[in-house]
Amino acid sequence: MPKTEEEKGFVEIVDGNYKIKGKFHIVEENQPIFNKDTGKLAGVTNPRDMTYIHSYGGEAPFFEGITQGKLLASRCDNEHCLSKGKIFEPFRIHCPDCLRKNTIVDITDKAKNKAKIHTFIITHRAGAFNTLPKPIKFINVEFDEEVATILMSILAVGEPNIGKRVVPIFNTKKPTYTIMDLRFVPEGTPETELPKGFTF
Ligand SMILES: [Zn+2]
């Protein structure tokens, strides 16, 4: 059953401190596990319901960006680093080579004009709590020579092929503020075919 507002946990930051309100641990009644053949007790279920507070830290701009239709990446601008000018997507707070803080850059236009499928995998068996439509078409997205990494995402419409041009779509209407707000579709997909809540 979906939780009521009184059963949810809420967090905000006030004066630099986390302030929590509501319920973060809900205790449920456990159940015995009996062996139907022998009538003997074999164990118990352990229902657990807890709300985890996940801080994004320096990656927060990336997750806020996708809710606004922006794909943010990061770039090393250190003159003395061999990776100077390299762009990282997924977003890296620090350069893996010189460990200096990277500069945040907007690669939305680059993704719209240059992104393509590097490789892909299709799975019919999803993990626990899966909310993606099956089969899930996982794709690795490459951008251009400036971007030193490939991004893991999913193809929301159509079939994946190596080298296929794709464009990002964003859950801007009712964002979850997680990576689920970013997906890709083949170039030329009409807006009417996008998943609910998603825009270009
Ligand atoms: Zn560097």
Spacing, Cα 90 to ligand 1 middle (Å): 16
Backbone φ and ψ for 28, nearest 5 degrees, come out as -120, 155
Are 105 and 120 within 8 A, CB to CB? no
pLDDT > 70: what percent of the chain? 100
Spacing, Cα 110 to ligand 1 middle (Å): 21
Spacing, Cα 170 to ligand 1 middle (Å): 29
Is it the case that residue 157 has pLDDT exceeding 90?
yes
Provide the pLDDT for residue 103.
98
Provide the pLDDT for residue 48.
85
Spacing, Cα 79 to ligand 1 middle (Å): 8
In this prediction, residues 64-68 reach a mean pLDDT of 97
Q: Any idea of the CA torsion for 35, 40, 43, 46, to the nearest 10 degrees?
A: 80
Spacing, Cα 103 to ligand 1 middle (Å): 10
Spacing, Cα 71 to ligand 1 middle (Å): 21
- Could you read off the pLDDT of 165-182 as tens digits, one per residue? 999 999 999 999 999 999
Spacing, Cα 74 to ligand 1 middle (Å): 11
Provide the pLDDT for residue 73.
98
Spacing, Cα 99 to ligand 1 middle (Å): 6
3-state helix, strand, coil in the chain (%, to 5): 15, 35, 50
Q: Residues in the chain, how many?
A: 200
Spacing, Cα 58 to ligand 1 middle (Å): 17
Spacing, Cα 105 to ligand 1 middle (Å): 15
Q: How confident is the model at residue 68 (pLDDT cuts 50, 70, 90)?
A: very high
Which amino acid, 107?
I
Beta bridge partners of 83: none
- Could you read off the pLDDT of 20-65 as tens digits, one per residue? 999 999 888 999 999 999 999 999 999 988 999 999 999 999 999 9
Are 158 and 120 within 8 A, CB to CB? no
For the chain, the first-to-last Cα distance in angstroms comes to 33
Spacing, Cα 88 to ligand 1 middle (Å): 11
Burial class (CB in 10 A: 0-12, 13-18, 19+), 102: buried
Provide the pLDDT for residue 4.
87
Q: How confident is the model at residue 98 (pLDDT cuts 50, 70, 90)?
A: very high
Ordered domains of the chain (ranges, CATH): 5-44 (no CATH), 57-199 (2.40.50.140)
Q: Is the peptide bond before 175 cis (omega within 30 degrees of 0)?
A: no
